[in-house]
Structure 1
Amino acid sequence: MITFINRFDVTGSPAEFEQAFDRTSAFFAAQPGFLRHRLLHHVEESGRYVNVADWEDEQSFRRALEQPEFAAHRTALRALSSSEPGLYTPLLERVSP
């Protein structure tokens, strides 16, 4: 499994960003290898969001980014925000019993 984490600083309308992200989320959810994602909203900073997405493997994630349809999603999100993306591998997870 691979985890993609992307922090967004929204420079446009938060409502428009959330709508654009929802469309992007639906696109990714339909891609092979997609497992799940969560969009988190900062409690104190209204323009800050974090996307945490799990994929079966890095190749699945990269193939999704190469889909021609993704370009429109990337453009829409970049028009409303700046971001800091990165890929991570799970190291430690603990859950409540």
Structure 2
Amino acid sequence: MIIFINRFTVTGPTEEFERTFDETSVFFSAQPGFIRHRLMRHTGDPNAYANVAEWEDEESFRRALQQPGFAAHRAELQALSTSDPNLYTPLYERVA
């Protein structure tokens, strides 16, 4: 499994960002290898968001980024925000 974490700073209307992100979420959820994701909003800064997505492997994630439909989603999100995307490998997990 690979974890994709992308921190966003929204520079446009937050409602429009959330709508656009939801459309991007629909796109990604249809891609092979996608497991799940969460979009979270910072409790102290209403313009700060984080997306945490789980993928079966890095290859699946990278293939999804190369799909023709993704370029439009990327452009819409970039028009509304800046982001800091990174991939992580899980090391530990504990569940109560």
Please, what TM-score do these two structures have when normalized by structure 1?
Answer: 0.98
Q: Which consecutive residues of structure 1, in runs of 5 or more, have no partner in the other structure?
A: none
- d(CA) in 2 for partners of 1:77, 1:48: 14
Q: Which consecutive residues of structure 2, in runs of 5 or more, have no partner in the other structure?
A: none
CA RMSD of aligned residues (A): 0.3
Shift of 1:26: 0.3
Question: Which 4+ runs in 1 deviate beyond 2 A?
Answer: none
Shift of 1:46: 0.3
Percent identity at matched positions?
A: 67
SS at structure 1 position matched to 2:12 = coil
SS at structure 2 position matched to 1:45 = coil
Please, what TM-score do these two structures have when normalized by structure 2?
Answer: 0.99
Pairs aligned (count): 96
Shift of 1:58: 0.2
Aligned to 1:66: 66
SS at structure 2 position matched to 1:90 = coil
- d(CA) in 2 for partners of 1:39, 1:95: 20
Shift of 1:49: 0.2
